[in-house]
Structure 1
Amino acid sequence: MKRRTARERALQALFQIDVSNTDSASAIEHVLEGESGDDYLTRLVLGVVEQKDEIDQLIKGNLEKWSIDRLATVDRNLIRIAVFELKFNENEVPANVILDEAIEIAKIYGDDQSSRFINGVLSKVKEQLGNK
C-alpha cells in the first residue's frame, strides 16, 4: 500500500475512533475492507492513539482562536497524523513531504478552508519541533 493510501485510511480509521469510540483494531480492519494489513497504516493509527495526549498538546499550543474540540473531525485527525509523523517518525519522511501530504488529503476530505488551515497549524508545529 502506498503511504498516501495508508494516510488516507489512517484518517478514516481515526475518524471512526473519534466519532464512535471504535477500538483501533476494529477501525483498521474496517478501513482495510478485506485487504491485507499495512504496517504504515497500523503504525499511524496506533501511534496517534497511543500518543494522543502529547500530540493534542502540541496542536493546542499552535492553534490561534480555536480549541481542539472545535476543529472539524477530519481536520483534527489529519493534523494528528501529521504531528505524529513529524514528532515520532523523525527522519523517516521529510517534514515538507508530511505537510504536503496532509494538505493534499485535506483538499480531498476536508472543506474549502481545510488545506490552508492545516498548513498554518502544521507549519507552526514543524517550526516548534525544529524539523527541516
Structure 2
Amino acid sequence: MKRREAREKALQTLFQLENTEMTVEAAIEHAVAEGKSSTFFEQLVHGTVDHLEEIDASLESKLEKWSLNRLAKIERTILRLAAFELLYTPETPSNVVINEAVEISKTFGDEQSGKFVNGVLSKY
C-alpha cells in the first residue's frame, strides 16, 4: 500500500470511527477488507486515535474564528490526520504532509477544502 493510499484509507477509517460505535480494530478491518493493510496505515489510525486530545487542542489553537466542532467532518478528520503526522512523525517532511492533506481534501472535500486545510496546516 502506497503512502497516499494509506492516508486515504486512514481518513476513511477515522471518518467512520467518528460516525459509529465501531472499535478501531473493526474499522481497520473494514477499511482494508479487500486489500492488504500496512504498518504506515495502522500507525496513522492508531496514532490519531491515541493522541486525539492533544491533536484537537493543537488544532484549536491554529483555527481562527472557528472551532473544531463547527468544521465539516471530512475537513476535521483530514486536519486531525495531518496534525498527527506533523506532531508525531518527524521523519516525514512537513511540506509532504501538508501537500498530501491538501490533495486529499480536494478529493474528499468541497472546492474550498484544499485552501482551508492548507491555511490551517501552514501554521505548523
Fold-level match, TM-score > 0.5? yes
More deviation, 27-36/104-113: 27-36
Report what 1:8 is aligned to: 8
Report what 2:45 is aligned to: 45
**Cα offset for 1:57?**
0.3
- Structure-2 separation of matches of 1:77 and 1:32: 18
Aligned length: 124
Cα RMSD (Å) = 0.8
Report what 1:114 is aligned to: 113
In the alignment, structure 1 residue 67 sits paired with structure 2 residue 85:
no
Q: Deviations over 1:43-99 (max 9, x none)?
A: 000000000000000000011111101111111111111110011001x21100000
What is the percent sequence identity of the aligned residues?
Answer: 47
- Structure-1 separation of matches of 2:60 and 2:5: 27
Runs of 4+ in 1 over 4 A off after TM superposition: none
- Structure-2 separation of matches of 1:23 and 1:70: 25
- Structure-1 separation of matches of 2:9 and 2:36: 13
Report what 1:101 is aligned to: 100
Report what 1:123 is aligned to: 122
Q: Which structure 2 residue ranges, 5 or more long, are not aligned?
A: none
- Structure-2 separation of matches of 1:66 and 1:52: 18
